[in-house]
Every structure is written in C-alpha cells, then in structure tokens.
Structure 1
C-alpha cells in the first residue's frame, strides 16, 4: 500500500514536539514538505529529520497532487484560511487546536469540509488519551451513576506564554487562557460527557496580571522571553458556568494569578461515584459501599496520545472513518468558548435556547 504524503505547515514547538515525530514513527506516512514563513525553521526541520523540502509559502503545497494531507501548526489566525485552502485543493487536514479564533471561522471551516468531503480533524489530543478514554467508558457504562456536574480547574501562578507576542495578541490568538488552555479542558469534558449540546453560558474573563509587560514577574516562560514592546490584550483569568443537555460545567482558569498553587484537574461528579482527573496524569475514583467511603487510583499503561492522534488521522484517510476529533464534533467546544467571551463582553448570560440554535 502506498504511503500517505504529508506536508507540515508551521514548524514551531507543537510541530517539532508532536506532529513531526509521530508522522516519522508511522510507516504509512512520508513528509514531503516543511513549510514556515520563517524559512530557517523549515530548513532546520529538513536538516534535523533528514527528509522533505523546506518552503515558505503553503500555497505551493496546494498545487502538488502528490500531497494527500497536511498538519496545520501555525498561529491561530492562520488556521481557518489555510485549512479552507487545503480542503478546497483536495487535501485532508489535521489542524491544531483551537479550530479557529472564533466560532464563525470554525463554522466556515466546517462548511468547506462538508462541501469538499475531505477530512478535517482538530488537534484536541485528549480524545486520544488512554486515561481519558477509560473515564469516558466508565461514564458510559453508568459506573458514576448520573453525571450531574463537572468542575474544571486550570490555574497556574505565573504561566503567561510568549508575553507580548502572538499568544497575547487577540488579533492573532483570538483570546488568552480560555482559548489556549481552556479549549483542552472543555473539550475533554465534552468528550467524556458525550458531547452534549450547550443550553446556556455565563462567563467572565479578566486581563490583569500581564498588562504591565515590563514588570511581570515570572520564573520561566513558554515561547519566551517577553517582548516589552508587544501587545497584551487577552484574558489571563476566566470563570464560567455552562449548562448543557447533560451535566452542568463550571470553569476556573488562569494563566497567571496571585495564588502560588497550580491546580490542573477535572472533577466528574456522579450520584454513585466521582472521579478527579489530574490533567495529563492519573485519576482517582471516589465512592461509598457497605457503609465505607472508598477511593482507588487505577493503574494502566499510558500510550502517547499525540502518536494515537496522528495514527488515527492517517488511518481515517484510508478508511473514511469519522474520528471523535472531527470538526462536526469539536465545533461544540468552539461554540462554548465564543459564548463565554460574549457573555463576558455583554455582561449577561448567553442562551442558545432563546436563540433557537441548540
């Protein structure tokens, strides 16, 4: 069977840490292009991985009939336009999270996917995580009873990424802590809960600790160092209440806060049992039986979820299978995130019931 020919668009951290190694580890994939507007990064990838050609303009990929699929690992403001161009050129697409800066952009991507029939998956990698899928199966099998509420915490002391750069510029990223970290946590919850339709959303976002870029105090910084002449117009804290056709969901998230304790976990609350998932790690089950309170921490082999994601993408190109990361499913997360931002801006609850768009 012939190999699936891949182009990597955007050769930054997520491409090098996740996408490229996973493609190289799959015998059914061959990387033909490394593309980046900074050609030195594309050339570095060619040298490092010993394959492919370095290019600056992704549009060269569109006319290459050999290319079957692309991974889009660019800043958020490029996701929609590049994905749409690639779909229309007959390429299958795996686009990093979030799907786009706004729900409207994500809807346009979905519309083009439907029109072309090509695959459009979003990089919500937790849907390929071993522990997350065990929790999902437990919920589906009724081991928690009725799942009535989920509490989400993604709070860090000082973790604003790339202060002053793309991460903290709304025109590029679409938002801050909510769209960067929150998309992973919310999508994980939606997946485990069966992707229930949201009914109402009330939220508030804050932009406080990163505004004074020169005096922001931190220990280390992803995508740093800070650019003191740059922009900071995104949220560094968010709180929200989401009602759905399934459980209600509460969210508290912070890139930065004046509490020096990191809290990265999700609580799934059922009337028979509950689960606390330490994000990216193990989980503990809490229940009661025979007059005793019980807790247990399952042991299992954790596989590489990025490898699972890439392997699944390559397999569905050949099989046509619709994966859990397909745009038709993941778009609900974009809808919720947009509603949180809108609720915060307008100072009122957003109701999808009243809008008739459930």
Structure 2
C-alpha cells in the first residue's frame, strides 16, 4: 500500500486557490494538513471550507510540525528560496510555484539544500504536462524532427498586468515583470523539448510603457492584489535571444501589455526533418512527405486533458512514491534563473552576457 503524505501549504493566494488546492484535495496519496499565510483570515477561511486542521501565520511554525512531510510554496517570488531551503533543512520534500528564485545564487542555494537533505525539490513547470507538449516530446525523442537548431517562444498580452501596484510589479518581491513571470513557462518548455542544451550566452531588452495604463482585457490581470498608487518598477515587455552549447538558438518575447491583436502564447521549433508549433495549446507539425510539403495536426483535442498544474503535482507525488524519475530537476531551475538574470543584465548594459 502506498504512503499518504501530509502536505503543508505556505501562501494561500490566487495561484494556490486556482491551481494547487484542487489537485491536492483530490489526490488519494496526499492529505492537506496545514495552511500558512501572513493573512491568517484568508488561510483560516480556506481551512474551514475544506476541513484542514492547522493554520499558521509564520511558516517556521509549520516547518516545526514533524508530521508535515511535504511543503508546497505559493508565496511571492522573493520568498521561494528562503522557505524552500528552510523546509529542506527541516527534512521536508518541497514543491514550489515558479519561478524557482529571484537570483541565480538563491536558485543554487535551493539546489544545494536539496542535494544535502536528500529530499525531493520540484518547481512548477506545468506546461510540460499538456497533451500537446507530451505528444511533441515523444515525437522529438523518436527522431522525427531531426536536429532542432533554432526556435522562438513567447506569451504576449494586449492588456494583462497582474496585481498592478502589488508584489507582481514590485521588483524587490517579484524579481521582475513578464520575463520572470511568464518567461519561465515557455522558455522552459522550449529548452526541455530541445533536449535541455546548456545556455552559454544571452542578449535582451526590456521596456516599461504601460505603467500608467489602467485598461485590462485578460483574466490573468486578476492574479495578485492590485494596489492603487503602488509600486511599478519592473518591465512590461521583454525580448531576448539565447545561445546554447550545441549551437542552437532561441528567440523570446514576453509582455503583460503590448499593442497586439490578441493574447497569444507559443513555442515554435525548427528541425532538419520537421518543424513544430504549439499555440494556445494547439500543436501543428510542418514536414515533407511523398515529395511534397505537409502540415500535420494531431487530434489531441479529442482527448480529455487533465489540468496541467494538477498533472505536475501528480508527477511530484509519483516521484515521491518511486513510480517515476523526476523530469524537472533543480539544475533546470538554476539554468533558468541564470538565463533570466542575464537577460536583465544584458538589457541594462546593452551587451550580450556570457553565462
């Protein structure tokens, strides 16, 4: 009989309620045993609604409970590494919302703490778990794309600044704007599909053009807590270019606000045998057959897909139970935060940055 893990949550805001709560409640090998939030009333309301016994306002008190075996971190970005390192040192397994950390040094501290503790550390990479991503990963592993030598990825919103004036738009707490908020998703997906080549150099540019614009047309602007007359010291658009050790390259563009036709997220890869595009979750493959050019669209829409955040959490538990090997490893997070940090450095200096 498989073990049931007692789970403690640190941070009970929108990302927890919308993406983490249901998967944990529904997993038959997990028990939500404790909630922690500096807003104790918010945590208590969720606990009362779901019969969760323990509520804390200080994560250290949660970590002191020897019955808690897994800690899931859903706080503002600045606190991810602090809480993760403390939880790992306390002998807990850690699942954490993205991004891993706000600096490469903090991401490395997390990786080192995981190695020293022998506990599992995994950071949310939900876009690896969509039907399109899983199909394309297998297609690539079967050699059907040949040598993947370049690609591009992005997430563009017309008007979708999250929690304007709150922690999302305060660099000290978030680490940056859409590059660190949205870029983690699709830069990671592209690099994973490309076979995890090592980044060696980046260049980038960032812009802040919509800090005083109050329009919104995206449901994603509901994340975070808006604060009138709050801080906005991050970018609202980032562009960049990554070089890898195998000669491959990746272009990127991420915005919370841009004058574009509509919101769009995408990963496009180009290989010697095929190209591929995932846009809004739809996969298309571009290749050759019988002396002509062909477009292929797998019938993934006919499959009933489980929410990708929940699938990522299920993978985490599968790894705890020994049924799977982690496909998301701490070193991936270190490389990711190195990339993002270097793009910000490049944007500030106007020069390419070597990693």
1:342 aligns with 2:340: no
Please say if residues 107 and 333 of structure 2, whose CA atoms lie closer than 8 Å, have aligned partners that are also in contact.
Answer: no
State the alpha-carbon separation in 1 of the partners of residues 168 and 152 from structure 2.
Answer: 26
Query: Does structure 2 retain, via aligned residues, the 8 Å contact 1:127–1:324?
Result: no
Matched, 1:240 2:243: no
- The whole-number CA distance in structure 2 between the counterparts of 1:286 and 1:205 is 32
TM-score by structure 2 length? 0.93
- Give the C-alpha shift of residue 320 in structure 1: 8.5
Quote the offset at 1:259 in angstroms: 2.5
Distance 1:225 1:29 in 2: 29
- Alignment correspondent of 2:201: 200
3-state secondary structure, aligned to 1:257: coil
8 Å contact kept, 1:201–1:240: yes
In structure 1, the residue matched to 2:57 is 56
Superposition deviation, residue 208 in structure 1: 1.7
Task: Measure the CA separation in 2 of the matches of 1:153 and 1:87.
Answer: 33
Kindly report the root-mean-square deviation, in angstroms, between the aligned alpha carbons of the 2 structures: 1.7
Using the alignment, how far apart are the partners of 1:292 and 1:181 within structure 2? 37
Report what 2:321 is aligned to. 318
Aligned counterpart, 2:290: 290
Instruction: Report if aligned partners of 2:166, 2:225 keep a CA contact under 8 Å in 1.
Output: no
Q: Is the CA contact (8 Å cut-off) linking 2:24 and 2:32 kept in structure 1?
A: yes
Consecutive unaligned residues in structure 1, runs of 5 or more: 353-358
Larger mean Cα displacement after TM superposition, 84-93 or 268-277? 268-277
> C-alpha separation between the residues in 2 aligned to 1:264 and 1:308?
20
Q: Does 1:217 align with 2:208?
A: no
Give the alignment of 1:11-26 within 5 angstroms. Answer: 11-26=12-27
SS in 2 for 1:77: helix
The change in CA–CA distance for 1:182 and 1:53 in structure 2 (over 3 A counts) is same
Partner residue in 2 for 1:251: 252
Q: CA deviation at 1:193?
A: 0.9
62-71 vs 43-52, which moves further: 43-52
Question: Secondary structure of the residue that 2:55 maps to in structure 1?
Answer: strand
- Counterpart in 1 of 2:108? 107
- Contact 1:195 1:332 survives alignment (8 Å): no
For 2:217 and 2:131, locate their aligned partners in 1 and report how far apart those are by CA, in whole Å: 32
- The aligned counterpart of 1:355 is none
- Between 1:157-166 and 1:328-337, the stretch displaced more is 328-337
**Could you tell me whether the CA contact under 8 Å between 2:56 and 2:62 is conserved in 1?**
no
Where in structure 2 are there 5+ consecutive unaligned residues?
none
* Residues 63-90 of structure 1 deviation map (CA, whole Å, 9 limit, x = unaligned): 2111111100011011011111101100
CA contact (8 A) 1:150 1:266 kept: yes
- Quote the residue 1:123 is aligned against: 124
TM-score, normalized by length of structure 1?
Answer: 0.93
Task: Provide the C-alpha distance between the structure 1 equivalents of 2:321 and 2:291, rounded to a whole number of angstroms.
Answer: 53
Q: How is 1:78-89 mapped onto 2 (pairs within 5 angstroms)?
A: 78-89=79-90
- Equivalent position of 1:309 in the other structure: 312
Q: Secondary structure at the match of 1:261?
A: coil
